[in-house]
Amino acid sequence: MGSGQAVAVFGAYGHTGRFVVAELRDRGFVPVLSGRDAGKVEALAASFPGLDVRSASADDPASLDRALTGTAAVINTAGPFAATAAPVIEAALRAGIPYVDVAAEIEANADTFAHFADRDAGAVIVPAMAFFGGLGDLLATAAMGDWTTADEAHVAYALSSWHPTAGTRAAGTVSRERRNGRRVRFTNGKLEYHQDALPSLKWTFPEPMGVRPVIGEFSMADVVTIPSHLTVPELRSYMTVEAVEDLSAPDTPAPAAADERGRSDQTFLVDVVVRSGGAERRATASGRDIYAITAPLAVEAVHRILTGQTRTTGVASAGKIFDAPDFLNALSAHLSVDVRH
């Protein structure tokens, strides 16, 4: 449990931020509510009486320093992370506390690894500790087991639907602008930008889902997190066609709460396959609401960092810094996980 430790949540009033705040409270932490819109932070505080409110902006270092004062860690849930990740990391380094974010933006995550890899010894920076990036990395690491290398890895997503948040749409716009409209994939051991059409394929998910049409090379943050520590020269990701159509449609509504926790009724299955020679290993996770599941992922990460359950320091993805199978087991209340070697 959190033992009453204060954890700053930057972007606390956002869709995912609210789930993180609630999860922190459930785990015994004391969230410190922060974000750039003072009115929205204050409004959120009305739902969580007694919590400290500290408005801050990514372009105001002094405000970030005030927001992090006296906290044990910070979770950054405020996208687009192209604008917020580096300033909040810098503030965390000044405060001497660990940093965790939930960035799904490929370029923002790549920037974090590139810019902070050789910074303060002993600092802990964990980007993409979310459904996209963190979960796939944990599953790939668990699937690898005792393998030190693999020829290829595949991450296939099956979403019953994808009602994107405003933050998802804004982050997608920023990413497309940074790529000049190009697409990205991980091949031959590196990220490659291209303008090829994405292939329409079929993926055999575990039963009862079975064979489903997917869009191939639908790259998410996994193309940064997994290769950051696993030797896998070819990494492919896939998304079910219905989810891609939802995301692409301009009039798809935002997620709607369908239970007392605020989760939507959307379900997901993430199927990770790694292959080496003629051998294949697999790890699969299923659950509900891709935004809500990010909260236990990020909060479990903070808990493990603050209790010394880590394997390294510096900038590290979930699979590198944590014991992947143990971490996934700790989320049994939120995820069904199956690892097959």
User: What is the structure's pLDDT at 67?
Assistant: 98
CB of 195 closer than 8 Å to CB of 179:
no
What whole-number distance in Å separates Cα of residue 127 and Cα of residue 112? 7
Backbone angles phi, psi at 134, to 5 degrees: -75, -50
| Ramachandran assignment for 50, one of left (phi > 0), alpha (psi -120 to 50 degrees), beta (any other) | left
User: What is the structure's pLDDT at 120?
Assistant: 77
Residue 2 has pLDDT above 70, yes or no: no
- Name the 3-class secondary structure at 266: coil
Tell me the per-residue pLDDT of 78-127, one tens digit each, with 9 for 90 and over. 999 999 999 999 999 999 999 999 999 999 999 999 999 888 778 999 99
Tell me the per-residue pLDDT of 39-89, one tens digit each, with 9 for 90 and over. 999 999 998 989 999 999 999 999 999 999 999 999 999 999 999 999 999
pLDDT band at residue 181, thresholds of 50, 70 and 90?
A: confident
Share of the chain above pLDDT 70, in %: 99
Mean per-residue pLDDT over the chain, rounded: 96
pLDDT band at residue 319, thresholds of 50, 70 and 90?
A: very high
CB of 18 closer than 8 Å to CB of 43:
no
pLDDT band at residue 341, thresholds of 50, 70 and 90?
A: confident
User: What is the structure's pLDDT at 233?
Assistant: 97
Where are the CATH 3.40.50.720 domain residues in the chain? 6-129+294-325
Domain formed by 6-129+294-325, architecture: 3-Layer(aba) Sandwich (3.40)
Residue 262 has pLDDT above 80, yes or no: yes
Q: Which residues are registered as beta bridge partners of 7? A: 31, 73
Where are the CATH 3.30.360.10 domain residues in the chain? 132-289
What whole-number distance in Å separates Cα of residue 217 and Cα of residue 238? 6
User: What is the structure's pLDDT at 208?
Assistant: 85
Tell me the per-residue pLDDT of 320-332, one tens digit each, with 9 for 90 and over. 999 999 999 999 9
Question: What are the residues whose beta carbons fall under 8 Å from the beta carbon of 47, sequence distance 6 or more?
Answer: none
Strand (E) positions, the chain?
A: 6-10, 30-35, 52-55, 73-76, 99-101, 124-126, 152-159, 183-187, 190-194, 200-204, 211-216, 234-240, 267-276, 279-288, 314-315, 336-340
Q: Which residues are registered as beta bridge partners of 285? A: 270, 337
Residue 3 has pLDDT above 80, yes or no: no
**172 vs 298 pLDDT, higher one:** 298
Question: What are the residues whose beta carbons fall under 8 Å from the beta carbon of 223, sequence distance 6 or more?
Answer: 106, 184, 185, 186, 191, 235, 237
User: What is the structure's pLDDT at 220?
Assistant: 95
Residue 1 has pLDDT above 80, yes or no: no
- Mean pLDDT, range 221-232, rounded to an integer: 97
The reply to whether CATH 1.20.120.420 applies to domain 132-289 is no
Between helix 106-116 and helix 166-178 the angle, nearest 10°, is 70
**Alpha helices in 102-145, H assignment, sequence order:** 106-116, 136-144
> How many H helices and E strands in the chain?
12, 16
Query: Closest Cα to residue 99, out of 57, 48, 64?
Result: 64
